[in-house]
Structure 1
Amino acid sequence: MNFYKRLRSDELRHEVGVRGRKQPEGATVEAMRVALTELLAEEANGVEHQDALLPIDEEEELTILEAKVAEVGNSVSLLAEEANESDAARARALLSHCNRRLSRLLSHVGQGRRVRVKELLILLKGSVGDFRNIGDLAVYQASSVPSVSSFPSQKSKSSKSTHESEPPPPEKPKRGVRVKDIDFQKWGVTYSGSEGVSVLSFIMDVEEKADSCGLPHRELLRGAPEFFQGRAKTWYRSVKSEISSWEEMKNYLRAEYLPVGYVDNLWEEIRARLQGEAEPIGQYIANMLSLFSRLELMGTIEEEMKLGIIEKNLAPFYVKQLVNTKVMSIPHLKKLGRMIEEAKFRVERYDRTKKTPLMEPEFAYKGRARRTQLDEVGDVEPEVAALTDARGRRPFLCWRCGADGHSFRDCQARGNFPRFCWGCGKRDMVIQNCVPCQERKARRAAAAQPDAPARASETTNPSEGNQW
């Protein structure tokens, strides 16, 4: 129990507070240590303290815990180089405190932050394994860091209070995964050091496989001979005597195979990664998060920063739709984007020319039919193609994109559209080669001259002129 004496003021206040004993604002560290010692003694005698829900800001709590997990990770790394009992006791206390605090937070945060909490728990789990591998002293081997499953959710606690009289069912013994039971070769994850395969992707693939098997990351070093091929295997053989943990292996791999300036260049790539014109928002966000995950192997990136970059690089279509909407998180943005895409799909699918039997024809909409095939414009004479409405006015029909309501000169649609005649709209034609438009141009030019009839007749019937 004495290891709790290594906790700092804010950590002590949290440990005492969650056990239901409030401390005055000016309480000293010594007073809080005494209070916590009393509470722990009561727990040792079988007294259960109901977890109190402290009023917390989830984002602020996550930020605090990210800093503490990073601190304890650094402490464990330093202990591995030069162990001493004083620092080990502090690391042991902080490991237990972070694990309990993260596990409690996991049952209260929303879905958007659960991923971050779980990532911190995974990092903490690795630090626990490294801590226990440092030495054989009791301070390193004591099971002071409970597993996540030892912290019941609020739901299980409430149900326990409802059924106080019922004894809890006996827990089934859990069989741990043994390294000798794992065939690393069957994982199919290898790295050769060749171009086209990212070393960070390799590290993530290996750790995901380990998580799916329930294998602690600290045991991954034993599978290293099966993970490497080609020149990467030659490199591994040259450095394996210097490497004593999986964390060290990752550091060596990054130092050897990451390109010079990788982090700076990847940041530039992320900031320049725009959403494609036809790229669904779900796919774009997935691609961006994958890029961020590569950087997060070297350090944590705030969720707010990720969201800001993704929002800034959205395609103009989405930017216009979201201009008056406050986006709260990346999952919220994904949900809004899918709603926008669904609305766009319904609009594009809408067909005003669809014919259905009418029960009361007098109330039907009698607007003009919408043109959907641009090729129709080029297959008829220009005068016929330029349809008029009931008042004799020519409606706007864009010869470039096919939409009505604007001319091709004002068209802002993006994409590669077929060329067309600027005089009549005929597809796959330019005005210089368009016979109807050139004939009309010739007639207008002839009509503008004083002897227009004679020239026109000579132009249209040259054979008759030769008979004279």
Structure 2
Amino acid sequence: MSYTIKFLSLQKAELEYEVAVRGGVAADSVNELRRQIVKLSLALPSEDILESHLEPFDDLKAVRESLIKSHNNIISLKTKLDKNLFTRTETLLHHIYHRLNRIDYSSADVAEAYKSCRSHFNSQYKDLTSFKMQSSQVPQVADSSPDPIKELVNVSVSCERKLFSEIGKLKYSGKTCVRAFIQKVNEFIQSRSIPQEKILAFAFEIFTDDALHWYRCIKDRVETWDEVVVLLKQDFSENDYDYRLLAEIRARTQGELENITIYIAIMRGMFSRLGKPLPEEDQLEILLHNIRPCYASTLASSANITDIDSLQNICRNYENIQSRLKRFREPPKVSADTVAPEFAYTKQATTSNSNNNYKNYKQLSHNFNTNYSKNYSNNYNNHYNKYKTTSNPAQQENHNLHVNEMAPANDDNNKKNVYCPRCRSQTHSLGSCQKPRFLICFKCGRKGVKFPDCPNCNAGLAKN
């Protein structure tokens, strides 16, 4: 005898068990539980599940609660026969039947409780069968409650329509990368738990253009989707696909704004497209060559890197540290709103007073020498050029009286050459001059006068 369960007639407690025993995670609402069991029951019928996921005592406790529900339903049926209530009670007893068959009652403690539950089940099922003939003679009363069988059919039809619309997005014309298409189909199957037979049944909707002509030709030779995949790779893959893809892999370096996690994920995706898997050692070598040079110092200080995960962790730590460095800020200064100013950072002097004094002295000395040399050279040149180009005949004649006695010094590289303004000679300096001291204008060489009193060099002073 077949004990068929109409799952949409079960209550929440029984639905949670039916979902859990098939490996699913029970949802909170009844509607969601019904959607779950509709999908799971297609792949795993009740007859194929031979063991329970619960402990025997926990299972028997739940069975007793279900038997109480069915007993109350039978009492109601004895009072007034109702076809919908009869159907729900029959479904509940079928649920109890399959549940009892999965309980292990080999131990003595469990056996006694199991026999009691089995006895109550047999008694209730016998009472239910006595109503079967009577329920067939009772006219059907219009009931506003939904029919569980119709609900199951409607849910199945809606699921099929939804599946058809989603599979319709998987189109392949034969002009794009076949391996990308195969990967997309496999991910679709895995994410929606769809049997491969369903995908094969929708093959005429998936393939278009040249790919559809191809499938019509080979459909009699294939029985599973895996066989279709083998022929797809054979007929639509380019002969040098792996060679060209490997060249693209070696040329694919890390972008400037691309973090290491995304880059390695993309590279692993490219590795997975290869027909012949690349050893992880070769993958690691390519990644070490193609990541950005900024990781070099961090990798050089690390131990020997043997796998891609270690490489990713090291580079990710480097990125985290760099992110912290960019966000680092100097400690704030003390303000009027500072609550604890004694804990605020105070900038310390980096050099001692003696070093500061030495630096100040050195700077002053450099400025003095520069200004003195600049002013002296400029004054001498300015006065000499002024006298040389003057338009005053008397001043020009007065200059000619003394120019023969002392020739002007050569101005080429004046700052570097040794020069004695008293002798007007470049053979020695003023400090090493052996001539006796006498009055002389150091600018124009006129004897008997100093530079402040020299009428040649100070024409305005002579007029006054």
Pick the TM interval, shorter chain.
Answer: 0.3 to 0.5
TM-score when scaled to structure 1? 0.38
TM-score when scaled to structure 2? 0.39
Q: Indicate the structure (1 or 2) with the bigger Cα radius of gyration.
A: 2
